[in-house]
A and B are shown apart, each in its own frame.
Chain A
Amino acid sequence: MTGVRRALPWLALTLLVALPGFAGKFYIDLFAKIMIMAVFAMSLDLLVGFTGLVSLGHAAFFGLAGYTLVLSAPDKYTAASLWTSLPLAVAASTLLALAIGALALRTRGVYFIMVTLAFSQLVYFVFHDTKLGGGSDGAYIYARPKAQLGPWTPIDLGDGTQFYYVVLAILVVAFAFLRVLLASRFGHALSGIRSNEQRMRALGFDTYAYKLAAFAIAGALAGVAGYFAAIQFGFVNPEMLSWHESANVLLMVILGGSGTAFGAIVGAFAFILLEDAFSLATRHWLLLMGGFVIAAVMLLPGGLASAGERWRHRATASSDG
């Protein structure tokens, strides 16, 4: 059984690599979108699952990166350079995360949730109510960023399949990065903070600095996701930074199971595929979606990714007695 469990992520990865070979453009685009959201969900899992910080303002970093891409292009018909616009977008998200984190992390628990929500709404209204980035209408991205090395263009982000593989590579790297981080001393310190912050302080850990670092890394990773989401959608608008977006990504983390990074990926896939299936079936799909989330949380409190494990426990329990 553990063999199957070990093999599962590899099987999923193989399927994702092979997908463009047998699936049509619709599914290539859909799965690219899901993988982008999976990176976004993993970045939030670093806060929610690893560090025990529930943020309801994570879309601010996601959306700001998208807007940075738009604002860094010379004009809307000229493509930005991937090499400059991506670092710029990630830097903007990281700086915003540092600023919001520095203030929000002075609070705890439900106050932290409210303060992150308030700050992200602040950013939302900056883009909604000013002319910056096209106001409430947002702005289109007519030309996808160019990845040029001198005369050579190694990647064409305008090509659906190439874009898909770029996003897949980012998903794999982000997952590996978070797993390494989780196993590092820094990661262990974060889980110590999650389970008992007072004890960590008494042992000599500057817990505020650790939390701020986690918040900034999560913001940077959300920025990577937001940058590629903007490219794929072909436009940005204030909804990208709204609290709806923050709540959706939090749902993905909870649905999939927090604290493992893998659960966040499962959550993103389940959330978006169900959203698609339900919205095809009925106009009242939000009702179905809500019901599903409630059922999943009640039946599988550890998230969908823990389903196999629970099933195995039940199997061993019944075979024992």
Chain B
Amino acid sequence: MAETALLARGLTRRFGGLAAVRDVSLALKRGSIHALIGPNGAGKSTLVNLLSGELAPSEGTILLEGRAIAGMPPYRIARLGVGRTFQRSNVFRDMTALENCRLAAQARHPRSWALHERAQACGPSIEAASRALAAVELGPRASVIAAALSHGERRALEIAMCLATEPAVLLLDEPLAGMGPEESQRVLALLRRLRTGRAMLLVEHDMDAVFALADVITVMADGVVLASGTPEAVRNDAAVREAYLGEALTA
């Protein structure tokens, strides 16, 4: 069994009287893709925000490689090795692709404060940025301003920015949203490659992609976990079929 990188136990988040996430437990293992699916409003994005520190849990614990991180600010969780992308494309639009990744890599650089050295002369962070761009096959587009990239390229750039921070855990919030079939195929191949050595949580609506890619699938509805297991087990789970998958998988 692969080792667990991120372990969440009994996570609950309330907004006023409403529990957006209720008693959710989850184990992300190194080298595996863990998909999180569920209808809109199921609490998927809230859960990602809890794991990345954007939101503090009302109850429950989160262990990153055995270390409790629940309630830490997002920047500390990021530095400890949790990288995330956002549902809506979230890059620095007025910077080039390389500069986006260089800035990301700088977050891990010990002297990111240095005032006198030119950022563009910072070797280690440029190297990390170039590696990350190459990993998502954006190398030839390095000097293009992010605003001028295609939608698919921007999504790939976001993943590259995460990679540049060398995370142990990747939280990807709908990386395929708004992509054409060809772009989707390219990103799927990328995610498959990235699985090695990392734990990955994938929130995605594209069921074909999820079932083709995921090692483990967790299904959420109304803030609770409905089922969790291998794609095969989830596909055959009666509660899941009724609540969510419905017709989509009977064919």
Contacts and interface: CB of A to CB of B under 8 A. Distances in A.
Interface in B158-214: 161, 165
A69 B115 CA distance: 29
Interface residues of A, number: 24
B93 interface: yes
Contacts of A187: 119
A184 B116 contact: yes
A196 B100 CA distance: 11
B28 interface: no
Interface residues of B, number: 39
B104 A185 contact: no
User: Which has the most chain B C-beta neighbours within 10 Å: A180, A186, A191, A204?
Assistant: A204
Interface stretch (B16-24, B74-82, B222-230, B240-248): B74-82
Contact of A201 (B74, B92, B115, B122): B74
Given A202-B84, A203-B104, A192 B117 contact: no
B94 interface: yes
Given A183-B120, A187-B119, A204 B79 contact: yes
Interface string B46-62: 00000010100000000
A64 B99 CA distance: 39
Nearest to A177: B115
A204 B119 contact: no
Contact of B115 (A180, A196, A204, A205): A180
| B54, B93, B112 pick with most chain A CB within 10 angstroms | B112
Contacts of A191: 92, 95
Which of A198, A203, A207 has the largest count of B CB atoms less than 10 A from its CB? A203
A206 B103 CA distance: 13
A199 B119 contact: no
A204 B169 CA distance: 14
A259 to B, nearest CB: 10
A202 B104 CA distance: 10
Given A203-B161, A204-B75, A186 B107 contact: no
B52 A202 contact: yes
A189 interface: yes
Given A192-B92, A199-B86, A199-B92, A204 B120 contact: no
Nearest to B111: A185
Contacts of A199: 86, 90-92, 161
A188 interface: yes
A203 B120 CA distance: 19
Classify the secondary structure of A's interface with B: helix
B168 to A, nearest CB: 13
Interface string A160-189: 000000000000000000001101111111
Contacts of B74: 201-202
A183 B118 contact: yes
B113 interface: yes
B109 A195 contact: no
Contacts of A213: 113
A202 B75 CA distance: 6
B83 to A, nearest CB: 8
Nearest to B117: A184
B103 A186 contact: no
Given A195-B94, A198-B90, A199-B90, A204 B118 contact: no
B114 A186 contact: yes
Contacts of A183: 118-120
B75 A185 contact: no
A192 B164 CA distance: 15
A201 B55 CA distance: 13
B107 A203 contact: yes
B41 interface: no
B149 to A, nearest CB: 15
Contacts of B108: 204
Given A192-B103, A201-B78, A203-B104, A184 B90 contact: no
B141 to A, nearest CB: 19
Closest 9 CB pairs of A and B: A204-B78, A204-B107, A204-B79, A188-B119, A185-B119, A201-B74, A203-B107, A201-B75, A206-B75
28 contacts: A181-B115, A183-B120, A185-B109, A185-B111, A185-B113, A185-B114, A185-B117, A185-B125, A186-B113, A186-B115, A188-B119, A191-B92, A198-B86, A199-B91, A201-B74, A201-B75, A202-B52, A202-B83, A203-B75, A203-B78, A203-B83, A203-B104, A203-B107, A204-B108, A205-B75, A205-B107, A206-B73, A213-B113
